[in-house]
Amino acid sequence: MARRGNSIIRGIEISEIISVLNKAYADEWLAYYQYFIEAKVIKGIMKDAAIAELTQHATDELRHANMVADRILQLGGTPLLNPKEWFTHTNCGYEEPKDFDVVSILEDSIKGEQCAISIYSQLVDMTRDKDIVTYDIVSEILADEVEHEEDLQALHDDITEFVQSLKNKL
């Protein structure tokens, strides 16, 4: 635990930060697995472009889990030790892929990113001027989640517009 490092935290309980970070940690693992499995089962038009994006996002979510776990440890906490706890602590849940077509998979993922953006935006507000190190970490993750939503939405719009223009020509 970073003793001097933690002594600079003001106006917020460290136990409270650890608890919200553990919830975010659960979200990151579930997001990682969601992207991992979506990239495996996805079917249909332009699926290669979607697989590239989903795989890149899986890598990002795992990196986020790393960043959050390391910060929890610095604060003197313990990252969730049992995957069962991911489901009891998650904010954003897990969207099991039911339809494997590209558009449905992208829509499931966009929902997840929108939840992540809301959660990290709350964490940014909660830590601003109080815990600068956590603030930097959650700000960096928030920027990634905003990029993720945009990437998925752009791909989703390209695909739906392409399909629409095909229909119009037939």
Residues that bind Fe ion (CB under 5 A): 28, 61, 64, 145, 148
Residue with Cβ nearer Fe ion (18 or 67): 67
Q: What one-character-per-residue DSSP string does 83-106 give?
A: THHHHHH-SS--------BHHHHH
Per DSSP, what are the bridge partners of residue 101? 43
- Report 49-108 residues binding Mg ion (CB under 5 A): 56
Residues 6+ apart with CB under 8 A from 134: 17, 21, 71, 75, 123, 127
Residue with Cβ nearer Fe ion (148 or 156): 148
Decide which of Fe ion, Mg ion, none touches 156; Cβ closer than 5 to 8 Å per partner kind.
none
Minimum Å distance from CB 113 to Fe ion? 5
| Site membership for Mg ion, residue 151 (CB under 5 A) | yes
d(CA 82, CA 17): 20
Element (H, E) at 45: none
Minimum Å distance from CB 145 to Fe ion? 5
Decide which of Mg ion, Fe ion, none touches 95; Cβ closer than 5 to 8 Å per partner kind.
none
Decide which of Mg ion, Fe ion, none touches 151; Cβ closer than 5 to 8 Å per partner kind.
Mg ion
Can you read off the two tokens belonging to residue 92? 């954003």
Per DSSP, what are the bridge partners of residue 43? 101
Q: Which residues would be at the binding site for Mg ion (CB under 5 A)?
A: 56, 151
